[in-house]
Amino acid sequence: MISYQKHKIEKAGRIVNIVFNVIFIPLFIFVLIIAFSVLITRLQSGVPSVFGYTQVEIASASMESAGFDVGSKCFVKSENPQNLAEGDIIAFFQFADPNCSVPGMVTEYNYPQAKADSSKIVFHQIIMVETDVNGNKWFTTKGVDNAEQDSVKIYQNYVIGKYLEEENFWSKLITFISSPTGLICLVVVPCSLIVASDIYQIIILSYNLRKSKYEGDDW
């Protein structure tokens, strides 16, 4: 009787351990990487991103005729500012350093340095690109449905990313992580595995204590 119960408990324990090691540990490491990436990018740039991808929500109707409805979400990917050109759609902090707000104010020692991470995030199209004396880019932007261009020129360091026209693996993965299903897979399932593992350890401990107490009895 004892051997049969022990065999069943040990078999269940092995299954739990296998599932725990094969699924939870890699998943836990992956979640840690994602969380670390979100935290670091949030601290550095003011917006959370994963592997250079940032999800933005359209807040106005200024890009509606281009297919971006209010409340919809899309992805931008960090891009080398030197590769950005007229016609590109970008997300950026609508910010101008008061000490250096236009390319003409730039010198070897004077350039935009103030952080913009608390400024409004805008999703507009580049209509003009300028290069300052240091070789850095400045962008004039405009909502395609707006009558006027944006009021400030955007320094390259204030650009969050370029619109990702076609979804890829990473954008789909981030979308999944943000969904209820992703929450279940990345939070509920791992937590369930932890609970199952703890319950198994409690059962084993209880079994061993009982066996030690009644050693030699036929129960």
**How far apart are the C-alpha atoms of 7 and 157, rounded to whole Å?**
63
pLDDT at 104: 94
pLDDT at 169: 74
DSSP 8-state symbol, 65? G
pLDDT at 3: 57
For 161, half-sphere exposure in the C-beta direction (CA atoms, 13 angstrom radius) is: 21
pLDDT at 166: 75
pLDDT at 147: 94
Cβ distance 131 to 61 under 8 Å?
no
pLDDT at 219: 45
**Tens of pLDDT along the chain (219 residues)?**
545 555 665 666 666 666 666 667 777 777 777 777 777 777 777 787 888 889 898 999 999 999 999 998 899 999 999 999 999 999 999 999 999 999 999 998 999 999 888 899 999 999 999 999 999 999 999 999 999 999 999 999 999 999 998 777 777 777 776 667 766 666 676 677 667 666 766 776 776 666 666 555 554
pLDDT at 161: 95
Strands 159-163 and 73-77, sheet pairing? antiparallel
- In the chain, beta strands by DSSP E: 53-57, 73-77, 89-93, 121-131, 137-142, 154-155, 159-163
Can you tell me whether residue 139 is helix, strand or coil? Answer: strand
For residue 208, count other CB atoms closer than 10 A to its CB.
11
